[in-house]
Structure 1
Amino acid sequence: MPNSDNQKPIILIVDDVPKNIQVLGTLLAKFDCELAIAMNGQQALDTVEKVKPDLILLDVMMPILDGHETCRILKSNEKTKDIPVIFLSAKTETEDIVKGFELGAVDYVTKPFIGSELLARVKTHLTLKTTQNLLGQEVTSKNKFFSIISHDLRGAFGIIMNFVQIIQENEQFLSKEEIDELLNDIGNTSKNTLDLLENLLRWARSQTGSIKFEPENHNLLEILCDVVRKQEHIAQAKSIALEYEIDAPLHVYGDKNMIFVILRNIIANAIKFTHAEGKILISGEDLGDSVKIMVTDNGTGIKPEVIEKLFSIHTKVSTHGTEQEQGNGLGLVLCHEFVKRNKGKIGIDSVYGEGTTVWFTLPKPQQ
């Protein structure tokens, strides 16, 4: 339950009685956490300025600044308002407890407290805080991702509209070759934009669980042949040899549509980042309880620091292909989602400037 990556959670104990602090410290030693101490409300506020805790155990009756006022100040500050506060107080009147909750506390424990009960509540609120942090990070990351995607879409449509405007306004001055070139650019931009939209829609549906998952036994070669047939003309346009080398029949257990999308995206990426006259080889290997599929190209390769970002929705990587084809980075994110859904693994082996192998595994048919 860390407050950030690879850190222990920090619990701030605020109490003006040293004995109470000692007892709480002994109890909380059962957690793998860091403890911070304050003897009054003002010290607590000063401490929070330096170290942002994941949870505050706050006594109510203290000198200088009592617990209620301390909580009010914490909750009115944008930087500290989300820190959960548990009041610890000898006051048991209903109005005192209600006031604590009205001030924004997540819990109220009366003294003398039962150790096991306090620990259970601390554990619960630390877990809730961690979950809240993770959800917040996910929302922030996805908002950022969609912002970048919308920028890509606006840019693509802007390019298409500019090309159309050039043709409309200068048709009488343009040669047939120039018009054909502009139309070809419009076609390529439109196709890349459509690919982006299709991947975006598939990814969004995968997040909401609206994509049906229907795993069955399949002959991998049949799916691969279908994918290659649909990608071959794109490879031929760049004079890239698209070959597959699967000698023995390889049977897998998974969702056919998802496997098709995985292969299509990986092969399309390989074509995009392979130079003209290059070669792409698709091969398969029987691993015993699973099958490994590899798509190897002799293209541009990928820098090591980029590889770890390619499967994450949190960090979008957008690059252009060898002939300035647009890349939006969403295809491999979708592949990762679908491979994981089919209980497989996916990875990338690459040497920058020499080529890349993108591989994934699928389980073999169930007996």
Structure 2
Amino acid sequence: METTKKPIILIVDDVPKNIQVLGTLLAKFNCELAVAMNGQQALDTVAKIHPDLILLDVMMPVMDGHETCQRLKSNPETKDIPVIFLSAKTESEDIVKGFELGAVDYVTKPFIGSELLARVKTHLSLKKAQQIVEEEVNTKNKFFSIMSHDLRGAFGIIMSFVELIQVNREYLTQDEIDELLNDIAKTSKNTLGLLEDLLKWARSQTGAIKFNPEKIAIKDLFTEVCQKQKDIAQAKDIQLSSSATEDKVIVGDSNMVLLIIRNLIANAIKFTNKGGKITVSAEDTGDFIRTEVTDTGVGIRPETISKLFCIDSKVSTTGTDNEQGSGLGLVLCKEFVKVNGGKIGVESTLGEGTTVWFTIPKYKEEE
């Protein structure tokens, strides 16, 4: 389970009574408090704990609030920490100066407790939203960097094979040329799969793929996907079976759920040795139908499982019969499961097999 980190609020004031009042008010928040008695102490404290919000008095000894704020905003490490000035000064020029120095808000003393709490809550929410956006942008930038590297590598291989044939055609036997052409075809096919998965993911992020929920018998989806994957499984002598009763009915987008099941079965075939077994099953868990794709394959290392659904740590491993993949299949599955209102997870034992499960809301008759 992920735990939510409590926000840290730094109170900077040289009057102990003010600190006590602020501490009592802020105790209503689920937060951690830190205290500094002047600007220099505040800078030293910020360097150690990096708070999420600073309540900064203006009139203080050693270093006043204005200079403290100026130093915070001039430091790349602390410039994004929101600062709310607390001051008895009500002149407009003092308030304007505070905003010019980079403060996000200005509360005059004596302050109204409910007003201060409302402003603190607002700026903590804004800070959290900003962090989420920055994390998503950084994650997607890393993802596109990985994709660019993979695509360049794939096209580089294709071009090198083509140039090899062009330059050495007269020295190559027909068998050698056929082998190079087969390598070109295989690499081109894998690259096309990567591009298709990349485009699907991009469309899911931009909302270009419409969500059309409907009543679906999960058994029908199992039958459709298993029928299409049967030949691939038989080529590796893998037994593919599915089980679901007619009463296992979901509310979801059929195209998305089909893609999820298809990708999970394709992955299971990829990482199961010849003569293995794959089963697809459905279970009613109350509000959801839980689908499981279980194989007797090679399994997944524990340190790899946490990376499977992360776009910034794309995992692509060669299958038991040297099958290639884009590494985006499970990322797409996670996106589509989320859109359908469910969850997805993996349970695996190295050398014994893997179960990938996902949930979709169960269809319920209107009462």
- Partner residue in 1 for 2:321: 323
Bigger drift between 91-100 and 178-187 goes to 178-187
Distance in 2 (CA, whole Å) between partners of 1:171 and 1:281 is: 48
Q: Match for residue 340 of structure 1?
A: 338
CA gap of 1:302–1:22, structure 2 versus 1, over 3 A, is: same
For 1:359 and 1:220, locate their aligned partners in 2 and report how far apart those are by CA, in whole Å: 14
1:110-189 equivalence runs, <5 A: 110-189=108-187
Separation in 1 of the partners of 2:188 and 2:17?
71
**Could you tell me which residue of structure 2 aligns to residue 305 of structure 1?**
303
Cα distance in 1 between the residues matched to 2:167 and 2:244: 56
Q: What residue in structure 1 maps to residue 54 of structure 2?
A: 56
Bigger shift: residues 245-254 or 137-146: 245-254
Q: Could you tell me which amino acid in structure 2 is paired with residue 329 of structure 1?
A: G
- 1:306–1:63 Cα change, 3 Å: same
Q: 1:357 to 1:19 in 2, by over 3 A?
A: closer
- Matching residue of 1:243: 240
TM-score by length of 1: 0.90
Paired residues of 1:319 and 1:328 also in contact (CA < 8 A)? no
Matched ranges for 1:64-83 at <5 A: 64-83=62-81
Aligned residue-pair number: 363
2:188 corresponding residue in structure 1:
190
| Distance of aligned partners of 1:184 and 1:298 in 2 relative to their CA distance in 1, 3 Å threshold | farther
Contact 2:348/2:354, CA 8 A, preserved across alignment = yes
Using the TM superposition, give the Cα deviation of residue 260 of structure 1 relative to its aligned residue in structure 2, in angstroms: 1.8
Contact 2:280 2:292 (C-alpha < 8 Å) held by counterparts = yes
Q: Which runs of 5+ in 2 are unaligned?
A: none
In 1: Cα distance, 2:286 partner to 2:73 partner: 57
Q: Are the structure 2 counterparts of residues 77 and 197 from structure 1 closer, same or farther at C-alpha, using a change threshold of 3 Å?
A: same
1:17-74: CA deviation from partner (whole Å, max 9, x where unpaired):
2222222222222223222222222221222222211111111122222211111111
Query: Percent identity of the aligned residues?
Result: 69
After superposition, the Cα gap between the structure-2 partners of 1:153 and 1:85, relative to the gap in structure 1 and judged at 3 Å, is: same
User: What letter is aligned with 1:136?
Assistant: E
8 Å CA contact 2:238, 2:269 repeated in 1: no
Instruction: Provide the C-alpha distance between the structure 2 equivalents of 1:71 and 1:112, rounded to a whole number of angstroms.
Output: 21
Q: CA deviation at 1:77?
A: 0.8
- Counterparts of 1:354 and 1:331, CA distance in 2: 22
CA distance in 1, matches of 2:5, 2:250: 41
- Deviations 1:113-158 (Å, cap 9, x if unpaired)? 1112111111211121122112211211111111112111111111
Work out whether residues 152 and 328 of structure 1, in 8 Å CA contact, stay in contact via their aligned partners in 2: no
- State the 1:101 CA deviation: 0.7
Could you report, residue by residue, the CA deviation over 1:226-258 in whole angstroms, capped at 9, with x for unpaired residues? 434444454455x24352233644543321210
Cα RMSD, aligned residues only: 2.4
Unaligned runs of 5+ residues in structure 1 are: none
1:323 counterpart SS class: coil
Q: What's the counterpart of residue 106 of structure 2?
A: 108
Q: Is the deviation greater in 323-332 or in 192-201?
A: 323-332
2:214 to 210, 213, 216: 216
Q: What is the identity, as a one-letter code, of the residue corresponding to 1:31?
A: F
Partners of 1:285 and 1:30 in 2: CA distance = 43
Contact 1:58 1:85 (C-alpha < 8 Å) held by counterparts? yes
Shift of 1:205: 1.6
State the TM-score, normalizing by the size of structure 2: 0.90
